[in-house]
Amino acid sequence: MTTEILVALIGLAGSAIGSLVGILINTKLSNYRIEQLEKKVDKHNSLIERTYEIEKDIEVIKTDIKVANHRINDLEKEDFI
């Protein structure tokens, strides 16, 4: 009877250790994947921020071009007067 109990306890310990090791490995892998996704999201957010800055700069340049064209038109009109 003691032999059966000893074998059962050894089996229980082996199962518990195997389960804990599996959980720890799975948690470690999940954390690694989350870190990689966070890095990708940071890169994406950085790209979006730079895109917004570029769009602002383009609007300023468009406004400058409109003003320059208006001045050129005014100068051309003065030459004809």
The answer on pLDDT for 24 being more than 70 is yes
**CA 8 – CA 14 distance, rounded (Å):** 10
Q: State if pTM tops 0.85.
A: no
The CA R_g of the chain, rounded to the nearest whole Å, is: 35
Question: pLDDT tens for residues 35-61?
Answer: 999 999 999 999 999 999 999 999 999
pLDDT band for 81, please (50, 70, 90 cuts). Answer: low
Q: In b/e form, how buried is each residue of 1-16, taking b as 16+ CB within 10 angstroms? A: eeeeeeeeeeeeeeee
